Amino acid sequence: MTEKKETILQTALELFAKEGFNATSTSKVAKEAGVSEGLVFKHFNNKAGLLEAILKEGEKKFKLFYADVVMENDPRERLRKIILLPFQIAEEEYEFWKLQFKLKWELGYDSTEKMKPLVESITKAFDELSYPAPSLEAELLLQTLDGLSTAIIKHEVSDPENLMKLLLKKYEL
């Protein structure tokens, strides 16, 4: 990965996040990155390829993000860890996650498949804690965390700390 290639990727990420994929032209990406437009196509074939590279990195980051949760053996601790996740997103990464959400809407991306291991892991945790409807509990919790995550990266949450505490309390964690 050359330096310029990385610059292109980073610039595209920022612009796609700010303006959207279709609203961002390849010429703008090139200009902003201080690079010829041709180079963008040399490295990524076409505009869709550039997007794909960004999405791939997103998936990697996402998996890394929740790997610690899935690996946790103690069910209570596993639930605690996943609830903490949305509140641990670093502020300098808000743009990155915003792009991931944005693109998933723009492209009609279905993420259920990639979420499966996480869903199962949380379901199992609820099961081990003898919740009467583990899979429903898992679904509800994950949707809640999804809503919270989007609100957080949009800076729409006033008091994250106490919101987190409230949620933990609801699951007696």
For binding to its own copies (CB under 8 A), which residues are involved? 20-23, 101-102, 105-106, 110, 112, 133, 136-137, 139-140, 143-148, 150-151, 154, 156-159, 162-163, 166-167, 170
How far apart CA 155 and CA 41 sit, in angstroms, is 35
Pattern 9-38, DNA, x by CB under 7 A: ---------------xxxxx-----xxxxx
Residue 7 or 135 having the CB closest to its own copies = 135
Q: Which does 76 bind (CB under 5 to 8 A by kind): its own copies, DNA, none?
A: none
What's the closest the beta carbon of residue 53 comes to DNA, in angstroms? 13
**Dihedral sign for Cα atoms in the order 31, 36, 38, 44:** negative
Q: Is position 42 an interface residue for DNA (rule: CB under 7 A)?
A: yes
How far apart CA 82 and CA 27 sit, in angstroms, is 40
How far apart CA 35 and CA 122 sit, in angstroms, is 45
Q: Which does 71 bind (CB under 5 to 8 A by kind): its own copies, DNA, none?
A: none
Please give the DSSP secondary-structure letter assigned to residue 45: S
DSSP alpha helix (H) spans, the chain:
3-19, 26-33, 37-44, 47-71, 75-84, 94-106, 112-128, 134-153, 160-170
How far apart CA 53 and CA 43 sit, in angstroms, is 10
Residue 36 or 111 having the CB closest to its own copies = 111
Among 4, 76, 80, 98, indicate the residue that binds DNA (CB under 7 A). Answer: 4
CA proximity to 154, closest of 86, 66, 56, 107: 86
What's the closest the beta carbon of residue 143 comes to DNA, in angstroms? 34
Q: Contact positions toward DNA, by CB under 7 A?
A: 2-5, 24-28, 34-39, 41-43, 45-48
